[in-house]
Structure 1
């Protein structure tokens, strides 16, 4: 999906239609976190009190101004001027021009510090991976049925790749798309989440410097900060050859319809309702920390977060008790404290959704055995929550809530729990814990998990860059990052070459 390597907070934004960007009262500016001594490193990243949110070789922006806020205390960080429709048009034109050069070159979130550093490392890793991959991309030479002929698959860049990222991974998801798109010969236009606009600006400043140092057009990696108007323009624009969208299933459907209406190509990474299954023979020393990390990591705001935990009836009570003890030891605090494991939700709206989901779970027969409340401290902090007693097909359990709520269920047989894993509309990530080799391969097989990520004895979250990342069903079907995900960013041509002096036709047809 960039987090600052020392992320103070991922930005929660609030639209502003008050004063012009360059006419803010001095009193307001003095309250910005960027002006406080402990956050001077933000300026080291090239950020300012007011930031231009459009980059196409030069910085600008004539759109609406937003203020970004810290989820840990809801204090303002800085301001960003977003793109107008006119800015978008100009950026598209410059990106298309930059592609003519680049195609020939190659054939504010709130998460804890350790996760923020890890996300930046993920961008570094995918760049390293992509450099090696750039020397290996190619199509096969196939045998022809005709004498003196050869069949060749030729792969070429699609052209301009639009990238729309979500708030929860504003660095890594862009990195997955940007690095692979670039080494396959494409140029990129990025629209990050409005609530992480500072991240988008800071990352683009780094990229712009690299392009400048190598005497390449800055528009190769363009940026248009903005809201739904810019996203809609990208989805409907035939000049955007591929649109990669990461976000909710609801919005993803709208994006897919708009892109398909113009017969464009889309790469969708949407919702997940991920499950961990622990059988009677599972190693509980692996199950408990895995469920803890998968359910509580990033405060439950990953698309791969574990939201359902299926426990064999013989180990259910034991695992729940162990989890409650583990939850009680979670270190909560400021996200930039290196000892903290659990930070705030992204926005106040996220807190409201958390409370609504907890109440709905109670109405449907669930029991909150841990957490369920808002913490009494500044910022958007809620208690990590465990709910038991729901039916496996409870409506709330089939709804993805971007919050640290884990629904725990009992099961008896392998057949029923595999079916329960697959009964939700999403199909992103899944995991089982067992020592039974036959069960493992049944889980990986056609009657096992229907997800794009199918794990064994590890959590549902924490994917490596070497594998293709993505899911099935309402998760969208897209694949990013490693393996052969590069094919999503290219177009394929089948080429038949006649190197003989004859002209035989396929299928032995005679046309004389």
Structure 2
């Protein structure tokens, strides 16, 4: 494993755009600053792309598309596998880089290197398993051939909260399918993607197959790319309002779209749950990534007979959490991404308290430098509280009570979102009922973390369209073609 000091590592990250296999400056040499949310200090200045730079990246992807689609699947897979190996070689550096630009504790950043790397390995294997089908027509008049073709050049927009995994989760299946890509990472955390592009380059990826544009003007750069008829696919992870706007833009050229949008995950604890297991699950589902995940448990729906004990046990665990910069030993709660995120979390907590919720612990910003907010628990949250309708994206546990299974299901489904749900019960029959009853694309049964590169990730309702990961993930970048061959 490689080990670098913070300064050495940051200097090793390319600070230019990656277009057509070359590292190039943005037009006008415009730069944007990347800050450490734990200190508020600038850690690296990188190229700030213009709309013209974005179009140059699309030009490069279009120029490389035919050759990449014709590249044997085995070769595409081997490049992904070599990139996986390089990620493992540099895992310590990548983890530190994510902690510096995003703030998550170093131990969690290491976990993301493992998780993000798995998409490279998984889709390196899926590349050679792309298959169609062949058979006679029911009438016996001919033979049907169904083949799979890459959809074409793709535009991938990634969020700031999982800088490596969200990039690999999109790039890997696209490349495995034979598509070229333009990637626009979030302006808050672009360094991990730039470092990843450097590893792809080292792994021998042909020029133009992967292009990275970093920018502070997301809509200015994105709109012309999406409007270009040569683009055939748009994939976005982020908020539902932005996703809706992008879907409207994509409709003009009838683009294939994958949208992984917001969440409002219910965490349902039944009266027969193993409470210690439920508390372990709650800590993982809520506080991983400092609560800044679309899969984070948002609403803790707990049976009234165990609600007080559950809150007490969670509070005891929260009291032991250490707040600080993610690079410090033992830190479990790093900073939120910026002051705006802190303000939002606090507004939601204060609104709930004002409406009658009980503040069990926490509930305020941590004084000093950086964007820190105390891990917080509010119980008895009234139904009209904003915290039950909006994504918290912070280290806040909001508890509501229910009395029977039907009410628990009703409360869990009472949201426009449907990404993931968590259920804790010792009854196998009830667990099986919840699989059908809860209106989400994913469910964790007696577990607080369920993401896996081999599983389809995605939601229903306003949580998105399509799936990432699993055997389903590569089909988001493939288009089936049917050919009829007559018998005579």
Match of 1:138 among 131, 136, 153: 131
Q: Distance in 2 between matches of 1:198 and 1:251?
A: 23
Taking the TM superposition and a 5 Å limit, the aligned residue runs for 1:323-362 are 323-362=314-353
8 Å contact kept, 1:159–1:187: yes
Which runs of structure 2 are paired with 1:146-295 in the superposition (5 Å)? 146-147=139-140, 149-211=142-204, 216-226=205-215, 227-228=217-218, 229-295=220-286
When Rg is computed on C-alpha atoms for both structures, the one with the higher figure is 1
Alignment of 1:17-56 (within 5 A): 38-43=6-11, 45-47=12-14, 51-56=15-20
Equivalent residues of 2:279, 2:314 under 8 A apart: yes
| Structure 1 residue aligned with 2:37 | 71
SS of corresponding position for 1:40 = helix
After TM superposition, give the deviation of residue 236 of structure 1 in Å. Answer: 2.3
The answer on whether the counterparts of 2:117 and 2:165 sit within 8 Å (CA) in structure 1 is: no
Which of 483, 489, 512 is residue 471 of structure 2 equivalent to? 483
Question: Is the deviation greater in 354-363 or in 468-477?
Answer: 354-363
Q: SS in structure 2 opposite 1:311?
A: strand
- Note if contact 1:65-1:79 (Cα within 8 Å) is conserved in structure 2: yes
CA deviation string 1:161-219 (max 9, x = no partner)? 111000001210110111111111101110000111222222211212223xxxx5321
- Write the deviation string for residues 229-267 of structure 1: whole angstroms up to 9, x where unpaired: 112233323222111001111111100110012211111
Distance (Å, rounded) in 1 between the aligned partners of 2:291 and 2:408: 23
Residue 488 of structure 1 and its aligned partner are, at CA, apart by: 1.0
CA distance in 2, matches of 1:352, 1:380: 9
**1:128 equivalent among 108, 121, 131:** 121
| Unmatched segments (≥5 aa) in structure 1 | 8-36, 502-512
Superposed CA offset, 1:66-111 (max 9, x none): 1111011111101011211221222211111111211011342111
**Cα gap change, 1:38 to 1:210, in 2 (>3 Å):** closer
Kindly indicate whether the alpha-carbon contact (under 8 Å) linking 1:308 and 1:408 is maintained by their aligned counterparts in 2: yes
Is 1:402 equivalent to 2:406 in the alignment?
Answer: no
Paired residue for 2:424? 433
The reply on whether 1:91 has 2:57 as its aligned counterpart is yes
How big is the shift at 1:462?
Answer: 4.3
Q: Distance in 2 between matches of 1:260 and 1:195?
A: 28
So what's the TM-score if we normalise by structure 1? Answer: 0.86
* Aligned alpha-carbon RMSD (Å): 1.9
Which residue does 2:66 correspond to in 1?
100
Which runs of at least 4 in structure 1 moved beyond 6 Å after TM superposition?
4-7
CA contact (8 A) 2:236 2:260 kept: yes
Q: Equivalent residue for 1:19? A: none
Does residue 418 in structure 1 map to residue 409 in structure 2?
yes
SS in 1 for 2:443: strand
Give the aligned partner of residue 453 of structure 1.
442
CA shift digits 1:122-181 (9 cap, x unpaired)? 232111111211222112224412325222221100011111000001210110111111
Matched, 1:58 2:22: yes
Secondary structure in 2 aligned to 1:417? helix
Measure, in 1, the Cα distance between the counterparts of 2:223 and 2:41.
30
CA contact (8 A) 1:333 1:343 kept: yes
| Equivalent in the alignment of 1:466 | 454
Q: Report the 3-state secondary structure (helix = DSSP H, G, I; strand = E; otherwise coil) of the residue aligned with 2:129.
A: coil
Q: Is the 8 A contact 2:257 2:465 kept in 1?
A: no
Distance in structure 1 (CA, Å) of the matches to 2:135 and 2:106? 50
Give unmatched runs, 5+ long, in structure 2: 74-100
Aligned to 2:303: 312
Matched residues in 2 for 1:374 and 1:395: separation? 19
Between Structure 1 and Structure 2, the one with more helix by share is 2
Query: 1:382–1:244: structure 2 CA closer, same or farther, 3 Å change rule?
Result: same
* Count of residues in correspondence between the two structures: 457
Q: 1:103 is paired with a residue of what secondary structure?
A: helix
Q: SS in structure 1 opposite 2:34?
A: strand
Q: Distance in 1 between matches of 2:224 and 2:113?
A: 29
Instruction: Note if contact 1:56-1:223 (Cα within 8 Å) is conserved in structure 2.
Output: no
Q: Is the 8 A contact 1:452 1:471 kept in 2?
A: yes
For residues 123 and 197 of structure 1, the distance between their equivalents in structure 2, rounded to whole angstroms, comes to 15
